[in-house]
């Protein structure tokens, strides 16, 4: 890889990332500081819950500390960051789902607990999100990238690491499903 | 309307709390420092991995402790019962839960950050590997990586599970840290809408029909060969009760594939199946044709039949206490046990309130014990499906027959898991077990609670069939007559892909198979799961095609689109059919290719084989029930006439029963 020469006043993301990848602590700090709001925003959109978003964002920051060492400048920094964040969001969702399973089983076996258990709802959910979160991962990602983040299909495809037409396909399928879901609940709202 | 709704997704998050941000940045910097000052990659072999991960956990736990100090009182309350439950789980020695529990923290985090990050990055890991080898100072450092990457699809999940092993240590700092999550994760209420139709109280997934597609724009159609039949039984039940089933819930391909067809089969097991393609005029449209694909699997003769290890997972919950449920189920399984070989083994697990093993793996030669155990079953309690399923898998693995058929047979009225309706999390477990060679079939009983969508999802993910059993006759058909088909797969992950020749065919429409459609690129991807074909099974797929020049063409040519080729080098070949299938247990699929030549065309509809005509009558019937526009003008009397003329031998009366259903539907449809 050829060394990049850029001015140091307003270092671009790529420059900072590259410097961080070889151990420049200051560059890394600047980079994370600059993008924390972005990470938090994406995490929030993927879970619609305040504390979960903070968890995910912190996790992403943690991962970044290691992952930046392997920064390869193969895709735009934003794209890369999207992937890490979305992944962390998925991990978190899986974690929640697993915990739910355990609690379900627990509810059956620890009969001593008896009573209803408090139910969990994301803090900023609404009827649209209720519908969106029932979609399969890929469809949900496509919907959130294109409608939530207002990316073009091509940009979303870059983040998802698939063909542009695949994104369109996911969106098409998701829209069909959402139309069914929202037809019922949307009117009541 | 939906666009307005989707705009809501773009609403911005409330700004992050300064406090949370500061801590996240601290975490990032700590991680960065621990990652080492020089450019040294975390995965240079096993030793550094272990070291790094331990560091991650320590950073994590420290920070988490700060963040979640509040709320620990409640948290501890939650942790204790959780730990108790987990201990119970260990005691039961359930392999499914073990790794999550006992994995040491360091392996839990091993390669955690980067693996999780890289899973959705398909672009050529190998290539990246090589580049890195070039760039990185120690070239051999990259060596252990590819193998690790190869495991990613499974690894990512596994790794995710292990990471959370920390939740199980009550009172420890990790335990407290994660207590908050316990609260968060608590019983997410299933009150969000799911795309289902309530039929009585049965939950059935609604599906939209395939539309007409232009061959120029979309010449290729890909689908999976699932041969579930439950839709037919549900349609039958509804009609016999004097109700027309809700149109969206009728799955035409399941109606068609309910009937046994006598297509020519292959002669040797080396050729797992044989496909016969017929083109006939369309009875309901003079200007289109039907392309009929009939596939028959190789029939295993009893001497070649592999040994079977069956685990019956039986729902004995209170809701099963009806004449058409548990008693029917017992009779049905008695029938099945009688058809098994003495060397086959059977185990029984029940679930209701709590999961219990009624019968450890027992050879069928000891039939008395099996039948006695079956007789002791009594209904009662509510359903703990997930725990029952884990137990069933444990027994299946215990009695595992190498090279044999290892299958969990779940019988339920569909009230699978009280309180949990998240079909996806359940299917994830089943998918996981499928890899270990244990398949799952689902038999639905009774009416009222039956959750068709869940059962379909479960069976499809478990490489099994889903059948709905409403009478003892149906039980006999599914379990006994088709036992060998449902039990002994001869080809798995069977996918069809058909490409139409644009010079001959202008448009096509697939009849049914809406829920089995695959992406075009999935066809060649052996990782994408598809249906299986059992011994002697038949699969029928039908397309309505519009020839070039027909007045029935719906789409006009594009002005700027590609021009329709007048002829191709392949002449008047109609289409090209490709079938991919794996020999059960193999990872790589084999490709079969069949060109559809004009010779396949029957001169008139009447000259087509009985089986072809009968299946087309069923297809027409299914489409009418779905209110498909194409058959609107085609009457039930016409359907009945075709079916009657093509009834043929019909030794078990299935086809006569179909005629009865057509008449019932005609009477109800006014």
What local confidence, expressed as pLDDT, does residue B2 receive? 77
Alpha-carbon gap, residue A74 to B128, rounded angstroms: 10
Q: Which residues contact B22 (CB under 8 A, 6 or more apart)?
A: none
Mean pLDDT is lowest, of A51-65, A134-148, B253-267, B318-332, for B318-332
Alpha-carbon gap, residue A125 to B95, rounded angstroms: 36
- B405-412 vs B439-445, strand pairing mode: parallel
B 198-257 residues with CB below 8 A of A?
206, 208
- B273-282 vs B285-297, strand pairing mode: antiparallel
**Quick check: B157 and A94 CB within 8 A?**
yes
**Higher per-residue confidence, B229 vs B480:** B229
Are the CB atoms for B581 and B589 separated by under 8 Å? yes
What local confidence, expressed as pLDDT, does residue B533 receive? 80
In CATH terms, are B213-227+239-300+490-553+572-609 and B306-487 the same topology?
no
What local confidence, expressed as pLDDT, does residue B546 receive? 92
In the block, tokens 């080098």 appear at B569
Are the CB atoms for B451 and B415 separated by under 8 Å? yes
Half-sphere exposure of A104 (CA within 13 A, CB side): 26
Residue B188: is its pLDDT beyond 50? no
List residues bridging with B354 in a β-sheet.
B352
Alpha-carbon gap, residue B312 to B117, rounded angstroms: 40
Alpha-carbon gap, residue B231 to B467, rounded angstroms: 8
User: A10 in contact with B at a CB cutoff of 8 Å?
Assistant: no
The fraction of chain A above a pLDDT of 90, given in percent, is: 9
Residue B59: is its pLDDT beyond 70? no
User: B644 in contact with A at a CB cutoff of 8 Å?
Assistant: no
pLDDT tens digits along A71-119: 877 778 888 899 899 989 988 888 887 777 766 666 555 444 444 444 4
pLDDT tens digits along B554-599: 877 777 766 666 666 667 788 999 999 888 777 788 888 888 888 8
Can you tell me the mean pLDDT for A115-140? 73
Burial class of residue B211 (count of CB atoms within 10 Å of its CB; 0-12, 13-18, 19+)? exposed
What local confidence, expressed as pLDDT, does residue A106 receive? 62
pLDDT tens digits along B509-542: 999 888 888 888 888 888 888 887 877 788 899 9
User: B184 in contact with A at a CB cutoff of 8 Å?
Assistant: yes
User: A26 in contact with B at a CB cutoff of 8 Å?
Assistant: no
What local confidence, expressed as pLDDT, does residue B411 receive? 82
What local confidence, expressed as pLDDT, does residue B417 receive? 56
Interface test with B, best of A61, A136, A179 (most B CBs within 10 A): A61
Q: Which residues contact B323 (CB under 8 A, 6 or more apart)?
A: none
Which residues on chain A are in Cβ contact (under 8 Å) with B122? 161-162
Comparing CB atoms, the residue among A74, A105, A132 nearest residue B386 is A105
Band (pLDDT 50/70/90 cuts) for residue B385 is: low
Residue B213: is its pLDDT beyond 70? yes
Can you tell me the mean pLDDT for A117-122? 54
Are the CB atoms for B450 and B420 separated by under 8 Å? no
Alpha-carbon gap, residue B249 to B234, rounded angstroms: 9
The alpha carbons of chain B give a radius of gyration, in whole angstroms, of 28
What local confidence, expressed as pLDDT, does residue B493 receive? 85
What local confidence, expressed as pLDDT, does residue A104 receive? 67
Which residues on chain B are in Cβ contact (under 8 Å) with A40? 13, 16, 20-21
In the block, tokens 């059977």 appear at B346
Alpha-carbon gap, residue B240 to A88, rounded angstroms: 51
A 101-130 residues with CB below 8 A of B?
101-110, 112-113, 117-121, 124, 126, 128-130
Interface test with B, best of A17, A19, A66 (most B CBs within 10 A): A66
Alpha-carbon gap, residue B443 to B467, rounded angstroms: 5
Can you tell me the mean pLDDT for B381-403? 77
Alpha-carbon gap, residue B400 to B296, rounded angstroms: 29
Helical H segments across chain A, by residue range: 13-21, 25-47, 50-67, 77-109, 127-132, 137-143, 153-160, 164-186
**Higher per-residue confidence, A186 vs A86:** A86
Looking at CATH, the fold of the domain delimited by B213-227+239-300+490-553+572-609 is given as Immunoglobulin-like (2.60.40)
**Higher per-residue confidence, B331 vs B416:** B331
**Higher per-residue confidence, B67 vs B471:** B471
User: What does chain A come to in residues?
Assistant: 189
Question: Residue A93's closest chain B neighbor by CA?
Answer: B185
What local confidence, expressed as pLDDT, does residue B362 receive? 87
What local confidence, expressed as pLDDT, does residue B420 receive? 46
Give Cα B76 to chain centroid, integer Å. 39
Interface test with B, best of A58, A122, A139 (most B CBs within 10 A): A58
ipTM of this complex:
0.80
Band (pLDDT 50/70/90 cuts) for residue B96 is: very low
Domain boundaries, chain B: 3-131, 213-227+239-300+490-553+572-609, 306-487
Mean pLDDT of chain B: 71
Residue B179: is its pLDDT beyond 70? no
Residue B146: is its pLDDT beyond 60? no
Can you tell me the mean pLDDT for B623-639? 90
Q: Which of B279, B299, B294 is nearest to B496 (CA)?
A: B294
Of B104-108, B233-237, B640-644, which has the strongest mean pLDDT? B640-644
The fraction of chain B above a pLDDT of 90, given in percent, is: 11
What local confidence, expressed as pLDDT, does residue B588 receive? 83
Band (pLDDT 50/70/90 cuts) for residue B114 is: very low
Residue A171: is its pLDDT beyond 60? yes
Residue B613: is its pLDDT beyond 50? yes
Are the CB atoms for B328 and B445 separated by under 8 Å? yes
In the block, tokens 């964002």 appear at A57
pLDDT tens digits along B417-471: 544 445 666 677 777 777 777 888 888 777 655 666 667 777 777 767 777 777 7
**Higher per-residue confidence, B666 vs A123:** B666
User: B515 in contact with A at a CB cutoff of 8 Å?
Assistant: no
Structure tokens at B526: 């052996």
**Higher per-residue confidence, B54 vs B416:** B416
Alpha-carbon gap, residue B540 to B294, rounded angstroms: 5
Can you tell me the mean pLDDT for B81-91? 46
Q: Which of B419, B485, B413, B470 is nearest to B442 (CA)?
A: B413
CATH class of residue range B306-487:
alpha beta
Band (pLDDT 50/70/90 cuts) for residue B64 is: very low
What local confidence, expressed as pLDDT, does residue B288 receive? 92
**Quick check: A62 and B23 CB within 8 A?**
no
Can you tell me the mean pLDDT for B266-291? 87
A65: distance to nearest CA of chain B, Å? 4
Are the CB atoms for B403 and B305 separated by under 8 Å? no
CA quadruple A161, A166, A172, A177: dihedral sign:
negative
**Higher per-residue confidence, B54 vs A89:** A89
């Amino acid at each position: 890889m050829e060394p990049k020469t850029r001015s140091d006043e307003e270092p671009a993301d790529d420059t900072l990332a590259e410097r961080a990848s070889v151990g420049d602590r200051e560059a890394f700090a600047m980079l994370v500081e600059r993008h924390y709001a972005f990470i938090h925003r994406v995490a929030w959109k993927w879970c619609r819950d305040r504390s979960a978003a903070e968890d995910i964002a912190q996790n992403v920051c943690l991962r970044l500390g290691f992952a930046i060492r392997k920064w390869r400048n193969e895709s735009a920094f934003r794209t890369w960051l999207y992937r890490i964040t979305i992944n962390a969001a998925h991990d978190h969702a899986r974690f929640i789902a697993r915990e739910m399973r355990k609690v379900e089983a627990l509810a059956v076996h620890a009969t001593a607990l008896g009573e209803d258990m408090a139910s969990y709802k994301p803090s900023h959910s609404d009827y649209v999100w209720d519908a969106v979160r029932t979609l399969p991962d890929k469809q949900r990602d496509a919907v959130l990238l294109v409608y939530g983040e207002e990316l073009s299909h091509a940009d979303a495809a870059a983040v998802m690491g698939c063909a542009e037409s695949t994104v369109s396909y996911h969106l098409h399928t998701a829209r069909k499903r959402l139309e069914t879901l929202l037809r019922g609940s949307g009117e009541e709202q | 309307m939906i666009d307005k709704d989707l705009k809501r997704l773009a609403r911005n998050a409330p700004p992050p709390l300064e406090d949370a941000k500061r801590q996240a940045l601290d975490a990032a910097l700590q991680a960065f420092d621990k990652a080492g000052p020089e450019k040294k990659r975390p995965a240079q072999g096993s030793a550094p991995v272990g070291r790094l991960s331990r560091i991650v956990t320590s950073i994590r736990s420290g920070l988490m402790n700060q963040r979640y100090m509040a709320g620990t009182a409640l948290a501890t309350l939650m942790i204790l019962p959780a730990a108790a439950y987990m201990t119970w789980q260990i005691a039961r020695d359930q392999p499914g839960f073990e790794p999550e529990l006992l994995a040491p923290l360091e392996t839990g985090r091993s390669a955690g950050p980067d693996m999780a990050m890289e899973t959705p990055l398909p672009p050529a890991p190998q290539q990246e590997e090589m580049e890195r080898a070039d760039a990185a100072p120690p070239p051999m450092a990259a060596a252990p990586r590819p193998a690790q990457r190869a495991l990613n699809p499974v690894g990512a999940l596994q790794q995710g599970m292990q990471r959370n092993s920390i939740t199980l240590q009550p009172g420890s700092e990790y335990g407290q840290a994660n207590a908050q999550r316990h609260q968060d994760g608590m019983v997410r209420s299933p009150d969000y809408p799911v795309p289902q139709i309530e039929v009585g109280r049965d939950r059935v997934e609604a599906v939209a029909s395939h539309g007409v597609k232009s061959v120029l724009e979309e010449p290729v159609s890909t689908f999976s060969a699932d041969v579930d039949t439950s839709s037919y039984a549900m349609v039958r039940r509804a009609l016999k009760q004097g109700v027309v089933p809700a149109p969206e819930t009728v799955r035409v391909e399941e109606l068609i594939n309910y009937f046994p067809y006598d297509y020519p089969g292959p002669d040797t097991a080396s050729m797992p199946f044989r496909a016969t393609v017929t083109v006939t005029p369309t009875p309901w449209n003079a200007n289109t044709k039907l392309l009929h694909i009939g596939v028959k699997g190789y029939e295993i003769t009893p001497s070649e039949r592999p040994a079977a290890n069956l685990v019956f997972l039986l729902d004995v919950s209170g809701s099963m206490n009806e004449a058409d449920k548990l008693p029917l189920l017992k009779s049905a399984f008695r029938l099945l046990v009688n058809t098994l070989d003495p060397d086959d083994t059977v185990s029984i697990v029940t679930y209701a309130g709590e999961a219990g093993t009624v019968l450890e793996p027992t050879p069928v030669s000891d039939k008395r014990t099996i039948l006695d155990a079956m007789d002791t079953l009594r209904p009662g309690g509510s359903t703990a499906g997930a725990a029952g399923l884990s137990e069933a898998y444990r027994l299946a693995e215990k009695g595992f027959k190498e090279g044999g058929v290892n299958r969990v047979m779940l019988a339920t009225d569909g009230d699978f898991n009280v309180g949990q309706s998240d079909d996806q999390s359940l299917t994830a477990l089943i998918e996981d077990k499928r890899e270990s060679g244990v398949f799952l079939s689902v038999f639905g009983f009774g009416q009222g609670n039956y959750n068709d969508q869940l059962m379909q999802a479960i069976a499809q993910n478990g490489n099994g069939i889903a059948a709905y059993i409403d009478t003892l006759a149906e039980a006999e058909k599914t379990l006994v007559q088709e036992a060998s088909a449902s039990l002994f797969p001869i080809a798995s992950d069977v996918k069809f892909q058909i490409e139409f020749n644009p010079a001959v065919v202008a448009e096509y429409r697939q009849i049914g198979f809406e829920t089995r459609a695959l992406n075009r690129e999935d066809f060649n991807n052996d990782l994408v799961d598809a249906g299986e074909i059992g011994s002697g099974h038949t699969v029928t797929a039908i397309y309505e095609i519009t020839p070039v020049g027909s007045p029935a063409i719906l789409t006009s040519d594009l002005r700027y689109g590609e021009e329709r080729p007048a002829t191709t080098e392949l002449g008047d070949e109609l289409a090209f059919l490709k079938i991919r299938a794996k020999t059960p247990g193999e990872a790589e699929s084999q490709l079969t290719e069949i060109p559809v030549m004009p010779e396949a065309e029957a001169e008139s509809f009447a000259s087509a084989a009985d089986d072809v005509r009968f299946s087309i009558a069923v297809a027409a019937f299914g489409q009418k029930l779905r209110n498909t526009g194409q058959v609107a003008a085609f009457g039930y009397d016409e359907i009945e006439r075709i079916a009657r003329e093509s009834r043929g031998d019909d030794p078990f009366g299935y086809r006569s029963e179909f005629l009865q259903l057509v008449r019932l539907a005609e009477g109800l449809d006014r």
